Amino acid sequence: MITSSLSTVSGIELSLSNPDKWKQFYPQTEMIVTRKGRLLFPHLNYILKRLDPNELYGVFIHFERVDNNRYQFLHNKWNVFGKGDEVRHIKVEQHLDGWRTGSYWMTKPVSFEHVRITNDPDLKKSNTFVLQSMHKFIPVIGIQKMGDSKIEGFRLDVTEFMAVTAYQSSDVIALKTKLNKFARGKDLPSGSAKPSRGTKRPATSPAVLPSPPSSSEPSSVSPPHLPSETVSPQESPPYSRLPSIESMVSSASHSGYHAPVTASPPESTQTTGYSYYTHENAQAPMNNENPTEQMQMHQMNEMSWYPMDMHQDMGNDMVPVMGREMPGMASQMPNGNFSPMAENILEEMPVLTNLDSWNTKNTNDMPNLGSPYYQ
């Protein structure tokens, strides 16, 4: 397991700045490839030594196929499954810092954390490399001195990895989850559970619930007095309070509406019946605007009536009596006073004057006019 490399030509030395992480995964390191590109973990961080401090250098990266095999994960290890796919064109990308002096590169680790890998051959993005799933790859770091025609390549076998679309090894899943805080559960293979990162922290103090008041001691707190117009929570919007009967009557009286007559209490001596014309719902006295027309209307009100739809075809056995006042009815005089009955004002009309006007279907069904009921 090689973690550092020394060039025999230029004497440049390259090594990993995080070899411990890579050693934990080797030799079954797996890297996820996606259509949009995925970052590598562990990251590719290198340390460069023995560079000329005053010369300009460029640092490059690309990925190579380790062999021409296709692999399959079986029995908890990677096995050769067959011949690999066609080797693609190798893409080389220069580090984002461009050309820098040797002292600049040796001051701090050279990081390629921004590099992504994908399995989409049509994705054309900088610092994104197309890799084939189920094939083994190794990153190659190239160093070129400005003016030289060749690039020296450095390969560290500890950084070899298998390109996959989902993690296959349970050991790799555990390490990725433990070491990488950005590990995603959806990258796990079907049927595997993501290891738990810890237990839920218990509450610092138990919840304190209010105890009910003792039945032996009276409560010192009395409920607040709510005014009559206070809206209770049950009546909160979007529901509004319905108007009271008093407000409805008040608004109706201002608009000219006469409220219906309410039922009398049981001890009242008022005669019950149809409230066609009573003291409570009597009309206003006559005025002097149209005395003739109003007098005629008063005379019509003095006469009893019966519904006009009670015609001959109904076959009723009862013939209404014309000219009689109905019980419980009060009459109004032209001067605005009320008389108990109207029998002294209008003469009683005959019961029937023409029997032919009643188009009866059967003369046997005619009522007996000699009965006292019709007298």
Number of folded domains that form the chain: 1
pLDDT at 346: 45
The span from the CA of 302 to the CA of 339, in Å, is 10
Q: Span 314-338, mean pLDDT?
A: 48
Asked if residue 134 is part of any domain, the answer here is yes
Asked if residue 71 is part of any domain, the answer here is yes
When pLDDT is cut at 50, 70 and 90, the band that residue 31 belongs to is very high
Tens-place pLDDT, residues 255-307 = 554 545 555 555 544 444 444 444 455 555 555 556 666 666 655 655 555 55
Q: Span 225-249, mean pLDDT?
A: 52
Contact assessment for residue 14 and residue 4, using Cβ atoms and an 8 Å cutoff: yes
Tens-place pLDDT, residues 119-155 = 999 999 999 999 999 999 999 999 999 999 999 999 9
Asked if residue 98 is part of any domain, the answer here is yes
pLDDT at 241: 55
Tens-place pLDDT, residues 158-185 = 999 999 999 999 999 999 999 998 876 5
Q: Span 93-107, mean pLDDT?
A: 97
Asked if residue 264 is part of any domain, the answer here is no
Contact assessment for residue 32 and residue 38, using Cβ atoms and an 8 Å cutoff: yes
Asked if residue 56 is part of any domain, the answer here is yes
pLDDT at 271: 44
Could you please report the per-residue DSSP string of 39-83? E-SS--EEEEES--TTSEEEEEEEEEESSSEEEEEETTEEEEEEE
Q: Higher-confidence residue: 319 or 112?
A: 112
State percent of the chain over pLDDT 90: 45
pLDDT at 294: 60
Asked if residue 337 is part of any domain, the answer here is no
Sign of the torsion formed by the C-alpha atoms of 73, 74, 77 and 80: negative
pLDDT at 67: 96
- φ, ψ for residue 234, nearest 5 deg: -70, -20
**Where does residue 69 rank: exposed (0-12), middle (13-18), buried (19+ CB within 10 A)?**
middle
Tens-place pLDDT, residues 329-360 = 444 455 555 445 444 444 445 544 454 545 54
155: domain CATH number? 2.60.40.820
pLDDT at 182: 82
Domain around 129: 7-179
End-to-end CA distance of the chain: 133
Of the candidate ranges 5-9, 88-92, 225-229, the one whose mean pLDDT is the lowest: 225-229
The span from the CA of 271 to the CA of 264, in Å, is 9
Asked if residue 150 is part of any domain, the answer here is yes
| Overall pTM > 0.95 | no
Asked if residue 28 is part of any domain, the answer here is yes
